[in-house]
Amino acid sequence: MKKIAVLLSGCGVFDGTEVHEAVLSLLAITRAGAQYQCFAPDINQMHVVNHLTGEVNTEETRNVLVESARIARGEVLNASNLVVNDYDGLVIPGGFGAAKNLSNFATTGSNCHINPIVENFIRDFANVRKPVGFVCISPVMIPQIYGQGATGTIGNDNDTAQAFNEMGGKHQFAKVDDIVVDEEHKVVSTPAYMLATSILEAHVGIEKLVNKVIEMMD
């Protein structure tokens, strides 16, 4: 049975993993007959957001690994302990955590860098040519991992697309239910809640992404 790693970035759309995207990814993996294992880096979040009011709580800190355990029902491993040979592919749900915790794209745009633990984690899959699916905003990490000309989508936001291209990537505009496939690098991306107005819309693209990732596995 194929086994897919799922990289989380906390719990909650505004400061961590987009919960719907994470759950839809896990469901799609399972429905496709594969297994999953959640991972997260053992680092502090950039900040903590009150999801009821949207306000940042400047006096509170939270840990990405601990918060990710909420989504994974406790079954989450430290990203530093990845044994890439145990997995056939990787899926990275979105949420602002991908742009605040896994990377600092939210504050620095095209000048961003990826957290070293996260970069090593994703590169482990890239280096052995195992397919990786990037959901929502997480595709902004594609150019730094895969280099000049790597293709991906975040939907149709012009500013984010421009930043993607400035980092050396090749952005393709896509509809909410579409996926963009970079066959050369074995990378798949979909807009999800960059465009989705409902959980059903997010589901369609995520399921296509997961199925394509599985199809691309050796």
CATH number at residue 186: 3.40.50.880
Q: Mean pLDDT across the stretch 111-138?
A: 98
Q: Report the phi/psi class of residue 54: left, alpha or beta, with left for phi > 0 and alpha for psi in -120 to 50.
A: left
Q: What are phi and psi of 201, to 5 degrees?
A: -60, -40
Q: Residue 7 half-sphere exposure, CB side, CA atoms within 13 Å?
A: 35
Q: Which of 11, 38, 112, 136 is catalytic?
A: 136
Regarding pTM above 0.85, the answer is: yes
Instruction: Write out the residue range of the structural domain in which residue 25 sits.
Output: 3-215
Q: Count of domains in the chain?
A: 1
Confidence at 24, pLDDT banded by 50, 70, 90? very high
State the pLDDT at residue 90: 98
Q: Tens of pLDDT along 55-102?
A: 999 999 999 999 999 999 999 999 999 999 999 999 999 999 999 999
State the pLDDT at residue 218: 77
Q: Calculate the average pLDDT of the chain.
A: 97
Looking at the predicted structure, is the pLDDT value of residue 127 above 90? Answer: yes
State the pLDDT at residue 70: 98
State the pLDDT at residue 100: 97
Q: Tens of pLDDT along 131-177?
A: 999 999 999 999 999 999 999 999 999 999 999 999 999 999 999 99
Q: Residue 36: CB partners within 8 Å, gap ≥ 6? A: 3, 4, 5, 6, 25, 26, 29, 30, 91
Note if 136 is an active site residue: yes
State the pLDDT at residue 156: 94
